[in-house]
Amino acid sequence: MLRSPLRPAGLVALLALLALLALLAAAAAALPGCGDSPLRKASDAYRAQVDPLLAREDQIWQRIRQASMDFDGDLKAPRYFDYLSGTAAPFYADLRDRFAAVVPGHERLTAPHADLLLCADLRKEFVKREGERRALIADTRVAAVEEARIQAGMAETEYVEKLGGDLPDPRFTELSALRDEVLTRLLPALQEGSRDVADVAERIRKHTLPGLRALRDGRYEDDERSRALRKAVALAEESMRQVLDGLPATVPLARATQRVSAIATESEAIRRRALDALAAVAREK
């Protein structure tokens, strides 16, 4: 059989192979799960809009956490609250609206989208409540309680160091018991609401302070350890007196701190849940 010089046998075979490959590619694209699925398209469009917001939000939140650790109740370091009011508050004021303006576009994105809205609400609430807590921290009674607590703790540490590994005077053990009852039992119960201010104040007034006063008025030897112990007792008594006087201010502050801490923890859990859900969608699409 004569063949056209323009269509050699190898070329005919190649054209047939290319036609077959084109048919296979078309068939593969028509199979479920292949190509750009609706979920992939929706997820890509959604992430393109929310990821820049999430990145900026993460920067601000991490800065808040770091500033909070630097602050740690020190009124001489106001940068924490300055950052909250100057940077975080304006950002979180409209973060929810910016998330809400993004359309999920697929039912699989609805739940993580709702979590991002809730997280934005919680972050905004956190910043607001921290602003309110600033006024409580600024109360001079709070500062007096904290300063007395620090001085008492330093005196106790000084006494323990002078022991050089020896057993402490029994009076130091009694001091520790009186202090710990207030700091680890009475005040936490007061903050949780299981005891009221009058009840705790009466216990400090009628039990803690008389006990510390009796220790202070006892007989002490004139040596370094005894002088250090007597100083620790005296400062512990002053600390408990400041706690008693400061109860009307410190209790609201402690409760406010618990609330903002809970809000922060909840917001972090919800944000993580949203990101995990979005990551799961990315793996499936």
The answer on 272 and 246 residing in a single domain is no
The answer on 216 and 169 residing in a single domain is yes
The answer on 128 and 79 residing in a single domain is yes
Neighbours of 8 (CB within 10 A): 11
The answer on 197 and 102 residing in a single domain is no
What pLDDT sits at residue 77?
A: 56
What pLDDT sits at residue 239?
A: 95
In a domain, 20, yes or no: no
In a domain, 5, yes or no: no
Structure tokens at 256: 């406010």
What pLDDT sits at residue 193?
A: 79
What pLDDT sits at residue 2?
A: 35
Structure tokens at 3: 């063949």
Whole-model pTM: value is: 0.69
In a domain, 1, yes or no: no
User: CA–CA distance from 154 to each of 75, 137, 231, 250 (Å)?
Assistant: 20, 22, 10, 21
Q: Give the burial class of 194: count Cβ atoms within 10 A of its Cβ; 0-12 exposed, 13-18 middle, 19 or more buried.
A: exposed
What pLDDT sits at residue 276?
A: 97
Q: What is the mean pLDDT of each run of 10 residues along the chain (285 residues)?
A: 42 50 50 68 95 97 87 65 93 97 96 98 96 85 86 93 89 94 90 87 96 94 93 95 91 88 96 97 84
Alpha-carbon 87 to chain mean position: 18
* The total number of structural domains that make up the chain: 2
Q: Range of 69's domain?
A: 38-138+261-284
Structure tokens at 111: 């739940």
